[in-house]
Chain A
């Protein structure tokens, strides 16, 4: 089972990202689960969302305490919440940042794989302000799954209610993230 923990602030799209990833993996024939962890819901407050992926039906309903992958949508969270808490030592930490070393001690101390992707900048260059889609793409490119095609289809489905221009910008941002993730994968090899 792969367990992904998404750190974001209310309104940044961590929940949506956790959902799109689940839809994309379902298209690959996997069992999936996606759920947010709510506190008092406020725009801008730190929040968590999770995606579980497995080869067979996922039955557990307990919290994710030892994720394989952590994605941080907002770099300022690295100073506020324990982003590497429980993260497996052989896991993956994906950050929205120009440079991983800019993001504080918790990241520097983490022994597993770390990849910084400038998601805010890539999103802006693609015509959207949401880093979540960039990081979704980067995650897939870095891990080698789900495929770019399935992620694109999943994104289109989840965003089907949005105007065409917004959907196109999201796709472009996701693809830019995917390319950055692939570079990260090759860099790590």
Chain B
């Protein structure tokens, strides 16, 4: 399979994701539209209407209902996917926690977008971070091809016997959802074979093995049940690695939990999530060409967070800038806090930057600025890349 040359099509991340869903052929997709996720479900709805998949598409009246229907469907014994963004995910979050707690392996495509207010339709990671502690596995695509690949991989992670958790596949709103680029789709039957049949223990509609779901848990059992869920999230790191390895072996595309770019002998590095990785890689190449020892780590698997892998890839690096596309007002932003946990006890110095809120562009010169500022010792202040008044250092 890896030797077959696949034709490239010009697709947006949203369209590529819809194709992955068509090829996975989920049994049930309950969904409510919201920008910038809408083209995912719009394209997928057309596939359903055209008979390209026999999925039952359930048009519900809100994202809360979408996720509620998804939990019921997944636990009943049906492979279930949905899609959302921003306020939609915010409304969904209550039930995402429940999905994780009830161990419902729903795959959620997310077109990551800012949260209101003020209202804004453009990209950042605030929505994903709102669901950060829900127990859902979170994976972030760097481009449209990865949005496709990760969507194909996601059911295998979600439904694995050691995981059984919702999996969110994030792609940056507009930067990926609405950006068209060459994408290679796998043959339909290869995707079908890769995801395999939907099999979960204790399916609600399995009349031969009656089971209860959504039970009440008193203080004598809640902690243990939550601990089982926490352990399952931790187990998902290894399972993700196995699924990614299978994907590489079968199809020749390798999407490890961390995308380490030119990190060999790097003295300074950036860490970030999502589509800004492409822009940062160009800057890394420029600086490397000028003899500077710099590198980049893009975090694909955000929950569970690959602490040990990050610690290993940062061994020998002196200073690191962590670029968050979300804030945690009053303290350090999420990715920075995770990275700090990973390097504790080492000599690596971390600096925190927030960038790109509400679709603010991250130009090449802003990435240059982050690398340049790493020449000086790190300090505790949070930097804001691209904020008016902060970037005006006259250099580019």
The chain A residues found within 8 Å of chain B, CB to CB, are 19, 22-23, 26, 31-36, 38, 58-63, 65
Total inter-chain residue pairs, C-beta < 8 Å = 60
> Given A19-B10, A59-B279, A61-B172, do A32 and B363 touch, yes or no (CB 8 Å)?
no
With CB as the reference atom, state the residue of chain B lying closest to A63: B361
CB-contact partner of A65 in B174, B276, B281, B363, under 8 A: B363
B357-373 vs A, CB cutoff 8 Å, 1 = contact: the mask equals 00001111000000000
B181 touches A38 (CB 8 A): no
**Neighbour of B279 across the interface among A31, A38, A61, CB < 8 A:** A61
Contact of A62 with B364 in the complex, beta carbons under 8 Å: yes
Q: Are the C-beta atoms of A35 and B282 separated by less than 8 Å? A: no
Closest to B276 in A: A61
Given contacts A26-B10, A26-B182, A61-B276, contact A35 B174 (CB under 8 A): yes
Q: Nearest 10 A-B pairs (CB), nearest first?
A: A59-B278, A35-B179, A61-B275, A34-B180, A63-B361, A60-B279, A61-B175, A62-B363, A23-B10, A33-B181
Is the contact region of chain A dominated by helix, strand, or loop, or is it mixed? mixed
- B282 to A32, Cβ gap below 8 A? no
Show the binding face of B for A, using Cβ within 8 Å: 8, 10, 121-122, 143, 172, 174-176, 178-182, 275-279, 281-282, 361-364
- With A38-B121, A62-B364 as known contacts, state yes or no: A22 contacts B180, CB within 8 Å: yes
Distance of B64 from chain A, by nearest CB (Å): 26
In angstroms, Cα B181 to Cα A26, docked, is 9
Are B279 and A33 in contact, CB atoms less than 8 angstroms apart? Answer: no
Q: Are A36 and B363 in contact (CB under 8 A)?
A: no
What's the minimum C-beta distance from B124 to chain A, rounded to whole angstroms?
13
Residues in A whose Cβ lies below 8 Å from that of B10: 19, 22-23, 26, 32, 34
A60-B278, A60-B282, A61-B275 known; A26-B8 Cβ under 8 A:
yes
B278 cross-chain contacts in A, Cβ below 8 A: 58-61
Contact partners of A19 in chain B: CB under 8 A = 10, 180
